[in-house]
Amino acid sequence: MRIVTLGEVCKVVSGSTPKRERAEYWGGTIPWVTPKEINRLTSPYLWGSEENITEEGFNSCSTSMLPVGSILLSSRAPIGLLAINKIPVCTNQGFKSLVPSNEVNAEYLYYVLKANVKALQARGNGATFKELAKPAVENFEIPLPPIDDQLRIAHLLAKVEGLIAQRKQNLQHLDDLLNSVFLEMFGDPVRNEKGWDKPALTAFGKISTGNTPLRSESANYDGDFIEWIKTDNIKGDVVCVTTSTEYLSEIGARKARTVTSGALLVACIAGSVESIGRAALTDRTVSFNQQINAIQPGIDVNPLYLYGLFKLSRGYIQSHATKGMKKILTKGDFEKITMIKPPFEMQNQFAVIVEKVEGIKSRYKQSLTDMESLYGAISQQAFKGELDLSRVPLPKLSTQHISPVPIGDQATVPEPVVQSASRIHLPDNGNLLAALENSEARKALMAEWLEAYRRQLGNAPFSAQDFMVAVSDRLTEWLQTVVEDEAVADEQKNRLAEFYTSNDVGLYVNDYEHIKKWVFEALAAGALTQGDNKVDNRIELKAVQS
């Protein structure tokens, strides 16, 4: 195994941005990529761009075309985002991309750089923000085994990475299952379409706010009598609070606020509204700080039901926080929040399901931890030349080597296959107002919009996420129009304000269930087809156009 610099085996290519004020530079057929697009990728591969430039825009700046199989490496904000392009692209100035020679395999280069992101970041310079200069990239050293071993290493790491992604997806599906069960049993907790009692939180149990014993009195902290929980111990995907790194002494505990097992701790002070409402249960007696409000459930409230309720009501809870720089949900405001309270027997039925699913999740999480450790060990050994590759089969190459695009000749810009993310057009419909108020009308409207989206797809894959973002944006836009419309009755506006306290129409899990049902029906009817995307190792849905 040799040690080489990137400059020895790659051409390092910078990007640039055409002037934004020149409309004729934008909206062409040449894919133009920014680091934020790479940050959103869920696989190593880039198949399209969010923006395209014209040939005139391309020639107006110093960007360059990158051939298929190049490595896009972000060089600032942040350093170290990576992707392999599957179509010819150019980039903005936030990249130092690599066009590999025949000596280095693109996938191997991707994984060896991924293993060295911290080292790349350490090469960054700059007072305001760090940036990776072209010479720093060219002089960066990597291990370079023979090409066959490069293929084996990349193949092996991709396999383990695929298993990790699959296990994460399994965990997400289990979370989705619990959300679906909750909605099936109790309905949407904000809309309360099933008409449950909806009392203030004081009816759910005793509410208290944590505190911080004086730091100046060291005796409060010189023992490990009881854990002192902070908001970073409340994770979004973990039922119970994690183990704290800080403890109080017996003296400190007497000055602190504590709760016993089964209490719900809720983050109520945070720098951003997204952190407000994050909740977790206690499975032991703990103390907690003043950024947390706690509910010690009463005898008619099941803690696991309460946890599920808060998990599906984050946006609703966040809407009650202050709107200033620091988001705060005071104890007084927290206590006034009204939430659905179905019969205790039904809460217990839901809790039984949660316990079973959480048992499965626990095993999956351990499996995920093991696979991530395996990936780290394989990666470390492979790039040190310590891995026995004799039993790793040599994978078949899916594509032949693609010659680099001439970078100096700006007149010979190739005509790429553009698969950029286009705006989804959702047609106007008289049911829009009804969809804001009524779930059945919303379901019918979404079915109509799904069909409209299907007809717009062409050869692009169906994306539930893209569709849901488009629906949320469209309904939010319509809500704002309704609020400003003097012809709409105040009573109707007030009713909408109750549902949408933040003037933002988010989609709920039952909306996702409607989409899933439509997809299954479309597959059965032959309007969608299902296939394997072998590159990304995932199932892909495509429209059948009549």
- Percent of the chain, pLDDT > 70? 86
* 110, 8: one domain: yes
Residue 399 forms part of a structural domain = no
Residue 271 forms part of a structural domain = yes
**HSE-CB of 249 using CA atoms within 13 angstroms:** 12
Give the tokens for residue 290.
């003043």
**Pairing mode, if any, of strands 264-267 and 292-297?**
antiparallel
Which of 302, 40, 44, 323 shows the shortest CA–CA distance to 182? 302
Which of 209, 234, 231, 198 shows the shortest CA–CA distance to 336? 198
* 318, 212: one domain: yes
Cβ atoms 459, 542 nearer than 8 A: yes
For residues 521 and 523, give the distance between their C-alpha atoms in angstroms, rounded to a whole number: 5
* CATH number of the domain encompassing residue 249: 3.90.220.20
Cβ-based neighbours of 264, under 8 Å, separated by 6 or more:
279, 280, 281, 282, 294, 295, 297, 303, 306, 307, 310
The position carrying tokens 């059965």 is 524
Compute the average pLDDT of residues 469-473.
Answer: 78
Range of the domain at 485: 432-543
User: What does the pLDDT read at residue 505?
Assistant: 66
User: What does the pLDDT read at residue 416?
Assistant: 36
Better-predicted residue by pLDDT, 483 or 104: 104
* 259, 326: one domain: yes
Per-residue pLDDT tens over the stretch 279-317: 999 999 999 999 999 999 999 999 999 999 999 999 999
Question: Of 108, 123, 144, which closes a domain?
Answer: 144
* 473, 539: one domain: yes
Compute the average pLDDT of residues 314-322.
Answer: 91
Model confidence, pTM: 0.66
How many DSSP H helices and E strands does the chain contain?
A: 17, 22
User: What does the pLDDT read at residue 430?
Assistant: 62
What string of DSSP letters covers 401-462? --PPPPSS-TT----------PPPP----TTHHHHHH-HHHHHHHHHHHHHHHHHH-TTSBP
* 108, 238: one domain: no
* 518, 438: one domain: yes
Compute the average pLDDT of residues 121-125.
Answer: 93
The position carrying tokens 């790429």 is 416
For the chain, the average pLDDT equals 87
Question: Of 144, 171, 191, which closes a domain?
Answer: 144
Residue 270 forms part of a structural domain = yes
Ranges assigned E (strand) in 289-386: 292-297, 327-328
Which of 367, 236, 246, 385 shows the shortest CA–CA distance to 314? 236
Residue 309 forms part of a structural domain = yes
- Percent of the chain, pLDDT > 90? 64
Residue 462 forms part of a structural domain = yes
Residue 499 forms part of a structural domain = yes
Give the tokens for residue 90.
């150019």
Helix, strand or coil, per DSSP, at residue 264: strand
Residue 501 forms part of a structural domain = yes
Question: Of 339, 359, 386, which closes a domain?
Answer: 339
* 137, 211: one domain: no
Residue 348 forms part of a structural domain = no
* 457, 530: one domain: yes
Q: Which amino acid is at 118?
A: K
| 421 band by pLDDT with thresholds 50, 70 and 90 | very low
Per-residue pLDDT tens over the stretch 363-396: 999 999 999 999 999 999 999 999 888 777 777 6
* 119, 15: one domain: yes
**Pairing mode, if any, of strands 26-33 and 90-91?**
parallel
Number of structural domains the chain divides into: 3
Q: CA-based angle 217:223:224, to the nearest 5?
A: 130
Among 58-62, 305-309, 445-449, 508-512, name the one with the lowest average pLDDT: 508-512
User: What does the pLDDT read at residue 133?
Assistant: 95
Which of 124, 163, 160 shows the shortest CA–CA distance to 140? 124
For residues 44 and 38, give the distance between their C-alpha atoms in angstroms, rounded to a whole number: 9
Crossing angle for the helix pair 344-384 and 147-186, to the nearest 10 degrees: 170
Q: CA-based angle 517:522:527, to the nearest 5?
A: 165
Q: Does 415 have pLDDT greater than 60?
A: no
* 213, 122: one domain: no
